[in-house]
Amino acid sequence: MMEETTAQKGMLRLGIASLVIGIWADFLFFGKDIGISYMLFVFSVYALFFWQAKQKSMLVLRRRHHFAWGLSLPILLLSTTFPLFSNTLFHFINCLLIPFLFIVQTILLTESNRKKWYTLDFLGELLGIVFIHTLRHVRTPFSGMKEWLKSRVDQKKYGVGLKVATGIGISLPILLVVLSLLSQADGVFGFYLSEIPRVLLSWTSFETLWRLFLIALVALGLFAYFHALMEEREEHVEIPDPTREEQKIVWDGVIMVTVLTMINIVYIAFTVIQISYLFTGNKMLLPAGMTYAEYAKNGFNELVMVTLINFAILLMTMHFASRAKRLLYRLIQGLLSLLTVGTGFMLFSAYFRLSLYEAYYGYTYSRLLGHAFMIFLAVLLVISLVKIWHDRFSLIQSFAIVGLASYVLLNYVNMDAIIAKNNIARYHDSKILDIDYLTELSYDAVPIILSLAEDERVGSEVVSKLERRIAKLPANDQWQSFNFSTYQAKKWVSQSAGK
């Protein structure tokens, strides 16, 4: 009985704390642009998690939790992008990625998982906790309130009240049909009936109801997730399957050597031709009617696709290749290494082509992201090369860590400023500039763009377009929406316009 009372008090405290954060979320976000508010909300959810984990004695520092604790850094850095930068694409992705990383981290810290985080089975466990256990606990507060009322109200009165509530629930759909028919039968009655919703649900009232609904939604979501995360579960013992190793698919070594040899021959020939056409600058060897810019553009997407195909071949061969004959497997390792080097050259070729194309047609988000993606693939190739010769090296762990670190870095390199800087440098060389595209970049690029303010040809137009963008911003930003990039852009444009 005492344990049951303690559990009820724990749920009550969690419910109150979740409700407080729901109200806090309404104060931070409703009717406001996202800025520093997102970072503050993340901190408050962390505070709730640590408090709840401490109450349950589930937060113990262990060496195996180093990856889980390490996730705090990318979560913190990505949360900080909201008050620092104004790139809407990254803000949208971060709004989805940060909750996902938080869920992964809290599952690992509370050891609610049975599978390793770098396996597909872990993803299944994560989805189970979020969409099965969490949803199951959404009704827990209502069940608790029902039991609380039942224990404090006379059983006879409780039974009468329950019957009255049931009668109201049954009569509502009938009343809706009857009232609809009566309003059509009598116009005056219908008029007065239609006035009731207008009076009760004025705009202010509707907004209040909507905000209360959102507060309840946030509070219920937090309560249900943390309650599901920290509930006691039955111990699960996995029975080893002695036939699993026998059932493992293995590819024949001779076949793999043949396939890899033929692929590598093609790539060596391709490399020789690429060196002749692209890197020597020998334009006289180009096919008739093809310009150097067209040559640089054509084939970029195809090269990236071939690179991804090579990755698939590389990963599948490392996983399925037979290791029964050591000498044969060494030959496979050598051919895979050659394939990796060839793939790296293709990446370099695609990167070089894209650089040439940008020099002719300018710099955009998609082209800069293309560069970043190819650099990322090059890093993965280096990791794959290590994996080829060190079989125990964890490829998925490394890919996940490098991928997350690369994405965080991409958030902080200020892509808009890089695009603006490169397009302005191209303008000084060629006198060609897409002013509309330049001035539609995020506010992160404004300090760079305003370097054109003194330019006789485009300076006045650039400043004018930026002034019109700034004028559309709210005059009195609320502190929850504070964004340093926007604040700085207003300041710089104001100073340039005043000169």
**Tokens 């699993």, residue?**
244
Residue 115: per-residue pLDDT: 87
Residue 448: per-residue pLDDT: 93
Residue 96: per-residue pLDDT: 94
- d(CA 1, CA 149) in angstroms, rounded, equals 18
Residue 75: per-residue pLDDT: 96
- d(CA 426, CA 356) in angstroms, rounded, equals 12
Residue 87: per-residue pLDDT: 93
End-to-end CA, the chain: 77
Lowest model confidence (mean pLDDT) among 53-57, 164-168, 432-436: 164-168
Would you say residue 95 has pLDDT above 90? yes
Higher pLDDT, 33 or 11: 33
Mean pLDDT of 448-458: 90
Mean pLDDT of 28-54: 92
Which spans in 201-325 are helix H? 203-229, 253-274, 292-297, 300-320
For CA atoms 96, 99, 103, 105, the dihedral sign is positive
- Beta-strand runs (E) in 441-483: none
Mean pLDDT of 283-304: 60
Lowest model confidence (mean pLDDT) among 145-149, 315-319, 366-370: 145-149
Q: pLDDT-based confidence at 246, cuts 50/70/90?
A: very low
Structure tokens at 459: 């300076």
Residue 418: per-residue pLDDT: 94
SS3 485: helix
Distances (CA, A) of 272 to 179, 268, 350, 354: 83, 6, 15, 20
Residue 284: per-residue pLDDT: 45
For residue 272, give the DSSP letter.
Answer: H
Mean pLDDT of 461-490: 86
Q: How many residues appear in the chain?
A: 499
Helix (H) or strand (E) holding 494: helix 484-498
The predicted-structure confidence for 70-94, as pLDDT tens digits, reads as follows 999 999 999 999 999 999 999 999 9
Higher pLDDT, 49 or 263: 49
Lowest model confidence (mean pLDDT) among 97-101, 259-263, 301-305: 301-305
- d(CA 113, CA 115) in angstroms, rounded, equals 6
Residue 45: per-residue pLDDT: 95
Position 454: which residue type?
Answer: E
Cβ distance 347 to 378 under 8 Å? yes
Structure tokens at 181: 């028919």
Residue 304: per-residue pLDDT: 75
The predicted-structure confidence for 117-159, as pLDDT tens digits, reads as follows 888 889 889 988 888 888 887 777 766 565 555 555 555 555 6
pTM of the model: 0.81
Mean pLDDT of 277-305: 60
Cβ distance 70 to 427 under 8 Å? no
Lowest model confidence (mean pLDDT) among 226-235, 394-403, 474-483: 226-235
Q: pLDDT-based confidence at 189, cuts 50/70/90?
A: low
Residue 445: per-residue pLDDT: 93
Would you say residue 282 has pLDDT above 80? no
- The rounded percent of the chain whose pLDDT value lies above 90 is 28
Mean pLDDT of 439-454: 92
Q: pLDDT-based confidence at 245, cuts 50/70/90?
A: very low
- d(CA 35, CA 83) in angstroms, rounded, equals 5
SS3 456: coil
Highest mean pLDDT among 15-19, 81-85, 257-261, 378-382: 81-85
Would you say residue 476 has pLDDT above 80? no
Residue 1: per-residue pLDDT: 47
Would you say residue 344 has pLDDT above 60? yes
* Closest-CA residue to 115 (of 390, 396, 387): 396
- d(CA 471, CA 130) in angstroms, rounded, equals 43
Residue 63: per-residue pLDDT: 74
- d(CA 180, CA 196) in angstroms, rounded, equals 14
* Closest-CA residue to 404 (of 172, 153, 71, 38): 71
Would you say residue 232 has pLDDT above 80? no
Cβ distance 225 to 134 under 8 Å? yes
Residue 247: per-residue pLDDT: 54
- Angle separating helix axes 36-55 and 2-29, nearest 10 degrees: 180
Lowest model confidence (mean pLDDT) among 37-51, 137-151, 205-219, 439-453: 137-151
Mean pLDDT of 272-280: 66
- d(CA 217, CA 225) in angstroms, rounded, equals 12
Q: Which residues pair with residue 321 across a beta bridge?
A: 251
Cβ distance 38 to 235 under 8 Å? no
Cβ distance 438 to 468 under 8 Å? no
- d(CA 334, CA 464) in angstroms, rounded, equals 60
Cβ distance 317 to 295 under 8 Å? no
Mean pLDDT of 189-217: 71
Cα angle: 148, vertex 153, 158; to 5 degrees = 100
What distance lies between CA 277 and its chain's CA centroid?
A: 40
Residue 146: per-residue pLDDT: 58
Cβ distance 423 to 362 under 8 Å? yes
